């Protein structure tokens, strides 16, 4: 008896929980309130009638609880007597299930008709919404089919029907009906998100156009920071890589030009050096170091059949003259060059002055 009582209470709790959950779905500040706000007056009237049917079903379930107190004591020792005593409760449960079925079917018909008449911005979203509605309708029809097997049963036939099975089947019907409403809500959620999705898409397109117009690494990175999984995320990453490569190549080219210009500066124009040595035959390094013991590089050049050696490179005669005394070479003197060719100091001074 205790075992059956537990079963009866458990199934009753499930049934009531489903009803309360659905009522909460229909009446609280959730998606069904949003749906109702877009319905026409006649459709709202249908929804209200459906809610009234749900309240009636809930009242019948409360009557069932009172009936259960009358017959639960007969289980399990006098199960047959218990089943006969439970006939009224069985009828009430079936009637409650029928009321719920009419309510859910009416609601679904309204919701389905309304959504099918609305325009979707995105074809893939419309298709998904249709699939959800089809899934909802299939579940609703399955629940109605199970319920239909109990419709038209005579009171005399219910004497032998198992009360626990009726409870279980009615809970299953309600579960399928609730599932149908959940899927309907999901379909509507997709529709409600159309404007938000459209606004986000417009914002993303504007950000992408801005990034393209700027065509800079920072602009593409700014786009990715806002839309890391956006429609143009892959292209933005590719453009960043390309621009970084362009910057690298440009930097290398700039460095090459700088070095070339630096080298050109070294090998062209007019400048002065300090000659520290001149011999008729090319001097060996050790012979040069005996004469010039400084740290500057010694440059060799030929002039009038002589091998001459000089140090330093100065843009003015004064700089070269000041440096001459620091070489420590007796007889050192300033020499001049133009484009690597030796010229007279006098001529070089004039050229430098004119420049």
Please tell me the pTM assigned to this model.
0.57
Which CATH number is associated with domain 265-354?
3.30.70.1070
pLDDT in tens, 53-62: 999 999 999 9
What gap in Å lies between CA 334 and CA 345, rounded to an integer? 7
pLDDT of residue 228: 94
Q: Assess whether pLDDT exceeds 70 at residue 169.
A: yes
pLDDT of residue 125: 95
Q: Assess whether pLDDT exceeds 90 at residue 85.
A: no
> Higher model confidence: residue 111 or residue 18?
111
Determine which of 153-162, 216-225, 306-315 has the lowest per-residue pLDDT on average: 153-162
Q: Assess whether pLDDT exceeds 80 at residue 23.
A: no
Task: Please report, for the chain, the start and end positions of each structural domain, with discontinuous segments joined by +.
Answer: 2-204, 265-354
Quote the mean pLDDT of the chain: 88
pLDDT of residue 299: 93
Give the CA distances from residue 65 to residues 89, 90, 159, 162, 308, in Å, rounded to whole numbers and listed in that order: 8, 11, 18, 17, 123
pLDDT in tens, 306-327: 999 999 999 999 999 999 999 9
Mean pLDDT over residues 273-298, rounded? 94
């Amino acid at each position: 008896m205790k075992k059956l009582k537990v079963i009866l209470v458990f199934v009753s709790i499930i049934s009531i929980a489903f009803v309360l959950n659905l009522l909460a779905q229909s009446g609280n500040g959730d998606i069904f309130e949003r749906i109702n706000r877009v319905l026409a007056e006649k459709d709202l009237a249908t929804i209200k009638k459906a809610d009234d049917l749900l309240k009636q079903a809930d009242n019948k379930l409360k009557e069932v609880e009172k009936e259960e107190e009358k017959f639960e004591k007969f289980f399990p020792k006098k199960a047959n007597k218990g089943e006969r005593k439970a006939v009224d409760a069985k009828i009430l449960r079936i009637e409650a299930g029928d009321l719920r079925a009419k309510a859910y079917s009416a609601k679904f018909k309204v919701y389905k008709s309304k959504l099918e008449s609305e325009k979707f911005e995105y074809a893939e979203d419309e298709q998904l919404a249709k699939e959800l509605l089809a899934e909802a309708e299939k579940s609703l029809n399955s629940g109605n089919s199970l319920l239909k097997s109990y419709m038209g049963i005579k009171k005399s036939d219910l004497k032998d029907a198992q009360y626990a099975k009726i409870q279980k089947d009615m809970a299953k019907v309600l579960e399928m009906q609730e599932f149908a409403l959940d899927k309907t809500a999901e379909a509507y959620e997709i529709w409600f998100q159309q404007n938000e999705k459209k606004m986000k898409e417009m914002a993303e397109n504007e950000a992408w156009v801005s990034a393209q117009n700027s065509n800079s690494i920072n602009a593409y990175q700014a786009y990715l920071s806002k839309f890391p999984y956006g429609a143009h995320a892959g292209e933005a990453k590719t453009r960043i890589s390309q621009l970084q490569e362009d910057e690298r190549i440009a930097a290398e080219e700039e460095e090459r030009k700088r070095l070339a210009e630096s080298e050109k500066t070294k090998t062209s124009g007019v400048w002065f050096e300090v000659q520290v040595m001149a011999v008729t035959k090319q001097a060996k390094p050790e012979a040069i170091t005996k004469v010039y013991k400084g740290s500057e590089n010694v440059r060799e050049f030929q002039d009038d059949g002589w091998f001459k050696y000089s140090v330093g490179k100065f843009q003015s005669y004064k700089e070269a003259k000041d440096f001459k005394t620091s070489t420590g070479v007796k007889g050192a003197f300033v020499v001049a060059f133009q484009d690597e060719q030796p010229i007279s100091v006098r001529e070089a001074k004039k050229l430098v002055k004119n420049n």
